[in-house]
Chains A and B, each alone.
Chain A
Amino acid sequence: GQQLNQSPQSMFIQEGEDVSMNCTSSSIFNTWLWYKQDPGEGPVLLIALYKAGELTSNGRLTAQFGITRKDSFLNISASIPSDVGIYFCAGTDRGSTLGRLYFGRGTQLTVWP
């Protein structure tokens, strides 16, 4: 199956810093989703994007659906210790049936106090 290119693989930042991560796909996507997963838990939906160019915020999180429909980024502003976790991008392409999601490999975020 298709694998999204998500970068960076890991980030080590200090509390209060901003964070940016992105995903690219080889095919056009019609939906981009960003999830956060804590250890031993299932992924939790952070932001959903459905239109090219769409910029959506959820508190300190901001995500954008790229104009080419082949990329998306997630920004976290003023990071705090509870932001620690793995962030996954996911998307569905135009040829996908039944809403099948393709995932990035994840970005492991570590926040130092």
Chain B
Amino acid sequence: GAVVSQHPSWVICKSGTSVKIECRSLDFQATTMFWYRQFPKQSLMLMATSNEGSKATYEQGVEKDKFLINHASLTLSTLTVTSAHPEDSSFYICSARLESIAESTDTQYFGPGTRLTVL
């Protein structure tokens, strides 16, 4: 259980175009999802926290108009990279929060990632 999918797994686009990445929790509901960016040989860098039914919370230095996040349902969050440029090329990973108050557990499950290459 606790599977998170991402689509697409990789995308190549021209500079100036927009790219949408989907993140789905397949077997659980997630009121909170997270979007990360990862550079080669580095740890995950949190970009924003996606909250179902409300606006996303962005980390300092992340442009909210550049990286649009929509959490339309309890199983889907999308990240749209608008007017992409080569410097936006990276590995983008989402995660979904699975919390159980009854069991006092709080875990994040990650998607497989999306490799974005902007030409």
Q: How many residues of B contact A (CB 8 A)?
A: 29
Asked whether any CB of chain A lies closer than 8 Å to the CB of B46, the reply is yes
B8 to chain A, nearest CB (A): 13
Q: How large is the interface on A (under 10, 10 to 19, 20 to 34, 35 or more residues)?
A: 20 to 34
- Identify whether the interface residues of A are mostly helix, strand, loop, or mixed: loop
Q: Give the tally of cross-chain contacts (CB within 8 A).
A: 61
Residue pair B43, A50 in contact (C-beta under 8 Å) = no
Closest chain B residue, CB of each to CB of A48? B107
Contacts of A101 in B (CB 8 A): 34, 46, 95, 108
Across the interface, do B107 and A33 meet the contact criterion of CB distance under 8 Å?
A: yes
B interface with A by C-beta (< 8 Å): 2, 4, 6, 32, 34, 42-44, 46, 49, 51, 57, 59, 91, 93, 95, 97, 99, 104-113, 115
Show 21 residue pairs from A and B whose CB-CB distance is below 8 angstroms, ordered by the A residue. Answer: A33-B107, A33-B108, A40-B91, A42-B6, A42-B93, A42-B112, A44-B110, A45-B108, A48-B107, A50-B106, A88-B44, A90-B108, A98-B32, A98-B97, A99-B99, A99-B108, A100-B46, A103-B44, A104-B43, A105-B43, A106-B43
